[in-house]
Amino acid sequence: MSDIYLDVTNKIVSALSQGVIPWIKPWTTASSSADCPFPINAISRRPYAGINIPLLWAEARLRGFRQDRWLTFNQARKAGGHVRKGEQSTLAVLYKPMSKEAHDEDGQVVRDEQGNIKMVQFALLRTHCLFNIEQTEDLPAEEQIYDECDDQPAFIDHAPAEQLLVASGARIEHRYGDQAFYQPVRDLIQLPIKGQFEDVGSYYATALHELTHWSGHLSRLNRDGITGGHAFGSAEYAFEELVAEMGAAFLCALTGTQGELRHEEYLASWLKILKEDKRAIFRASGQAREASEYLLALQSDQGTEMIERLTA
């Protein structure tokens, strides 16, 4: 029987080993769906969520796909097309919500104050094989969309990302130099001045990375990676950097910011963590999602809309 946690971890490890950061979106906003920044099903238009986001992003980068639309073999056939002969599928994970009766340590059914049986919610995981739309032929014309735009925007504030930073209420200081960090003791984010960055995307990717760290403060999400006092270079420190990387990637996608962080110094640590613990990438993804939802919730109506995209 296949071990889904191990299969997913091996895919992430393989991508990292080839220098591909799986949680970085591999295309510009112009080439993705206007309705959702995440990979979507080409037929149902439903966005993929959870661990499927970095899995599909990584595969797109590794194999050079220009679109973020995926479907199953049967979906392509039912739509009137087909997957080209010899094409390899991409691993995805299907979450099926389940429930069962709650039992105590003695095996007795647990009931609430009204005498109703309490139910425990859990998810059943199974693997799911997908193909990128670029691996198909003869689909209806409306399924073939989007040419990538190569124009680079001028360096100006990106309103959605800037609003996210402002709405957080985080204390952010800009100083000329080469340091970007979050300091929990002072509850302070320090960034280089905007003009030092190569482009607007690089600035906001960095700022949102540090803002994800900020969300873990004792007075907010109380995340161990921030509040545990872990030393630089430790596995716990590297894991928090992994959470911040994924959180920044999710927030960049949600705000329509094209930015990529390059933290090659953590690659070895991340690989070590993932190889030693097959569930680590699931925990990191979950904590990054929690941080993203927390930050988006600070933005009232706009945040609510973005959270719906993240949790769909």
The more confident residue out of 4 and 170 is: 170
Confidence of residue 259 (pLDDT cuts 50, 70, 90): confident
Q: What is the CA radius of gyration of the chain?
A: 21
Confidence of residue 208 (pLDDT cuts 50, 70, 90): very high
Is 78 exposed, middle or buried, given 0-12, 13-18 or 19+ CB atoms closer than 10 A? exposed
- How far, in Å, CA of 308 to CA of 161, rounded? 17
Residue 135 pLDDT > 90? yes
Q: Residue 199 gets which letter from DSSP?
A: S
- How far, in Å, CA of 260 to CA of 77, rounded? 36
- How far, in Å, CA of 149 to CA of 239, rounded? 34
- How far, in Å, CA of 122 to CA of 111, rounded? 18
Tokens of 147: 């040419």
Confidence of residue 291 (pLDDT cuts 50, 70, 90): very high
Please list, in sequence order, all residues whose beta carbon lies within 8 angstroms of the beta carbon of residue 115, skipping any fewer than 6 positions away: none
Mean pLDDT, range 113-119, rounded to an integer: 85
The more confident residue out of 128 and 35 is: 128
Mean confidence (pLDDT) of the chain: 82
Percent of the residues in the chain that have a pLDDT greater than 70, as a whole number:
84
pLDDT in tens, 144-190: 544 433 344 444 788 999 999 999 999 999 887 777 899 999 899 99
- How far, in Å, CA of 260 to CA of 249, rounded? 8
Please list, in sequence order, all residues whose beta carbon lies within 8 angstroms of the beta carbon of residue 81, skipping any fewer than 6 positions away: 136, 137, 138, 139, 140, 143
In terms of average pLDDT, the best of 130-144, 150-164, 213-227 is 213-227
Tokens 């997908």: give the residue. 130
Least confident stretch, 42-46, 67-71, 213-217, 299-303: 299-303
